[in-house]
Amino acid sequence: MLDLAGVTVGSQVLDLGAGTGDQTMLAARRAGPGGMVLATDISASMLALTQQAARGADLANVQTRVMDAQRLELEADSFDAAMARFSLQFVPDVPRALAEVRRVLKPGGRFAAAVFSAIERNSFRASPQAIASRLAGKPFPAPGPGQWALNDPSTLRGAFRRAGFRDVDVRPVPFVYRFQSLADALRNLAEAQPPLVKLLDELSEDDRVTAWAEIERTLEPFVGPDGFAAPSEALITVGAR
């Protein structure tokens, strides 16, 4: 994603929906002291963690601002690159957000966004959500913005092009979720996957027990001699202003 966005030494970078900022740190190291990364998110508490991590890593070139991706309170033509790591699909008005990103990019600047691809290629995240949704009596995937809202390459390509981006490219990127054990994988689901946690919270205590038992059975095939390994896939879309 950083390569496709063109993040390099001296870059002025916008991180859209930065969350706790893992990718912010990577971009800041690339940009170096002469560059800058502005991490934006609607969650002040997440950005506080980003700022804390930046201080701990001695990265003085990281700034944070609470900001809605649909209304970027930033000057036009002010960034060399922009990126969104697993955040664009949660934006209610994607066309408006893309138009805003294009506005704040300098001519020739590039925007790269990573989202999850097809549900069937992301069992570790999708299967538990499907189980919890069924027990909650809800459709899966849920309509509207959410984790799976932009998992179709043609949808992404069309959205970028309609926003005015040039040289739009969408590519699948395989990766693997690895944990030492199934128990560690289940712990990650419980602690680091808000869409699943929200669904589970809506269940009765008995249904939560049922859900976790079924989730564990569903994920057992990913356990091998080297621990837990679940193949997954992202889509990375890039376009230039």
pLDDT digits (tens, 9 = 90+) for 44-69: 999 999 999 999 999 999 999 999 99
pLDDT value of position 107? 98
| Digit-coded pLDDT (tens) for 190-214 | 999 999 999 999 999 999 999 999 9
Class of domain 2-240: alpha beta
- Contact between 120 and 151 under an 8 Å Cβ cutoff? The reply is no
pLDDT tens track for 171-195: 999 999 999 999 999 999 999 999 9
Q: pLDDT digits over 104-126, tens only? A: 999 999 999 999 999 999 999 99
Q: Cα dihedral sign for 161, 163, 167, 171?
A: negative
The helix (run of H) or strand (run of E) holding residue 64 is strand 62-66
Q: pLDDT tier at 13 (50, 70, 90 boundaries)?
A: very high
- Are 31 and 9 in contact by the 8 Å Cβ rule? The answer is yes
Domain boundaries, the chain: 2-240
Q: Give the span between the Cα atoms of 1 and 110, in whole angstroms.
A: 11
Confidence band of 34 (pLDDT split at 50, 70, 90): very high
